[in-house]
Chain A
Amino acid sequence: MTAPGERVDNSPGDLPTGSLGVLPNNLSNNPPAKPPAKPPAKPANNPPTKPSGFRQFCVLFNRDIKQELRTRQMLSSMGIYALLVLVVFGAAFAHTGPVATSGVAAVLPAGTPASPPTSPGISLISISGGLMWAMIVFTSLLGLARSFKAEKEADGWEGVLLVPLDRSLIFLAKACANLVFLLVVEAVTIPLFYVFFLSGLELAASFWLVAGPLLVGSAGIAGVGTLLATLTSGTRGTDVLLAILFVPVIFPLLYTVVAATTAALVGSPDMALDYARPMVLAAAYDLIMLPVCWLLYDFIVST
């Protein structure tokens, strides 16, 4: 077909397979087309028996983790970026009045539903769930874009694609690695968020339930984000394009996890409606979108 410039085209001219089946003969189809790929940080062993799917997954997953532990490029940039977002939030809410900015907010009796804004300032608790997710979304965007930039720069991706692996395993490993990075960054930034914005305010007793939306939301962001980052990694204007695709696609998930987070922080009288229902919907989003991404990944990577 039309050879895209000098780019090394990995797939055999035809589509290798329509299904998600293992693609063992990808290599044998076009070995002379390219120089032997650089060893992708893993033993290029060729044992008579194929390693199990789980082992393949572990190798791929470890590869991402190891690479990150060596460079710490992604984690550090995500962490610093999240901190910067917090600073911007700080400026944005510096003039909203004493309730929002200082610890005086203890005047708010615990468990007060935050719907009626208290007169001197706005009630920060009721919007803090949204702010937290704004921070997570922006931070994850940065991390997702980076996760493929490194692959392209070091040509590691080519190596991975050359190995006769089940393509959907690549997705699974990459998404899991991104999820781990995201959770690590959250583990640092959300306490920071608490210190900066919520430490003076009285949270509802149910605040620990925030862990639910954080987990479900991060899983969805990592899964969908990995697919979209792969889609955009070879295009013009990668970073902007990723944001343009990512935000509308993630919107339903964002909507649900913000609802659940807010309910947990504010402490709703009807947790079944305000917390459980959004959580079920968020989980449903994950359960629908992640398999869809998983199925489509094969097509995208094979091109």
Chain B
Amino acid sequence: MCEEAVKDKKTTERDDKAVVEGAATALADRMLLPLLVAGALLASLGFVLAFTTAPLVVGAEADVPALIGGQMVTHKLLLSQKIFFFHVPVAVVSFIGLFVMALYGLRFLRQRDQIYDLKAMVAAEIALLFIVMTMLSGELWERFEWGVWWTWEPRLTTYLILMLLVIAYFILRAGIDDPERRAVFASAFGAIAFVDGLISLAVTRLIPAGAHPVVFRTDSGLPPAMLVPFILTLLGMLLVAFGLYRFRLRERRLHQQLDELKASYENQKGMH
């Protein structure tokens, strides 16, 4: 649904790039702070619910069954599973960020409007932020539940590769001075990176790596008590990501305008 919003904004923005920002963009920019706050609140609410209403997940069998609170408990209850409510929404958002990056890259290649390159770059920044959050939260889970800091498990591997690809994207940008060339090359690489990320995901899953057991359960049907906080957090994170994206985009554009003003001022001074 965030995608839709992005797309709407995009179409409105094409007409008014030279002029002052159009009414729709201005409105969106005014709504940004409330949007960001709403996202943060939603995500927080999701966390609270995750800890209050969502049941604990039954983990491995306990060594010694114990009587807790009048109930015979034979399995460990995983409090650490609560990471799921942060980890998965953040991961989903990071992938959407990559998708947006690739999309704007292709759009730039078609229309050669620098604004799309800027948008792709900002989307990549947001994607990198969320990828890092995904990896950090995953790291906590891994250390706590699997007892290792790192293992070449399919999803971990994919995310490591995604992170490297996005970092490579920025290093590539930093290596090129000419803005036109930089935009074209970065857009092309962004498209490759996204396709490569998808392939990486498929490949690492389809080829079992060594003897490592697949610990993840793919709970396709979450019970409502867990689904609600999950959805809330996901929505909240999407809003936060979108808000951050717009803020950063506005900041970059203002920066560019400032540079242009400075340049024209210098020119005028030189003429007098």
- A interface residues, Cβ below 8 angstroms from B: 1-2, 4, 14-15, 18, 115, 224, 227-228, 231-232, 234-237, 241, 244-245, 247-249, 251-252, 255-256, 259, 277-278, 281, 284-285, 288-289, 292-293, 296, 299-300, 303
Contacts of A251 in B (CB 8 A): 161, 196, 200
Specify the chain A residue showing the minimal Cβ separation from B211: A115
A303 to B187: give the CA distance in the assembly, Å: 12
Q: A255-B203, A285-B203 are in contact. Are A300 and B196 (CB under 8 A)?
A: no
Complex-state Cα separation, A292 to B191, whole angstroms: 9
Neighbour of A303 across the interface among B175, B181, B191, B202, CB < 8 A = B181
* B195→A255 contact, CB < 8 A: no
Contact A252 B199 (CB under 8 A): yes
Complex contact A299–B188 (CB within 8 A): yes
Number of B residues contacting the other chain (C-beta, 8 Å)?
36
Interface of B is mostly: helix
- 15 pairs, CB–CB < 8 Å, chain A vs chain B: A14-B112, A115-B211, A236-B175, A244-B164, A244-B167, A244-B172, A248-B196, A251-B196, A252-B200, A252-B202, A252-B204, A255-B203, A289-B196, A299-B109, A303-B185
Of the residues B179, B188, B195, contact of A2 by C-beta under 8 Å: B179
Residue pair A248, B177 in contact (C-beta under 8 Å): no
Which residues of B are in contact with A by a Cβ distance under 8 Å? Answer: 109-110, 112, 157, 161, 164-165, 167-168, 171-172, 175-181, 184-185, 187-189, 191-193, 195-196, 199-200, 202-204, 206-207, 211
Complex contacts, A232 vs chain B, CB 8 Å = 172, 175
Residues of A within 8 A of B110 (CB): 18
- Interchain CB contact under 8 A, B200 and A2: no
In the complex, the chain B residue whose C-beta lies closest to that of A284 is B199
Q: Do residues B188 and A231 form an inter-chain contact, with CB atoms below 8 A?
A: yes
Contact status A249-B188, CB under 8 Å: no
* Inter-subunit contact A4/B178 (CB<8 Å): yes
B196 — which chain A residues lie within 8 A by C-beta? Answer: 248-249, 251-252, 289
Contact of A231 among B167, B177, B189, B202 (CB under 8 A): B189
Least distance between A152 CB and chain B CB atoms (Å): 15
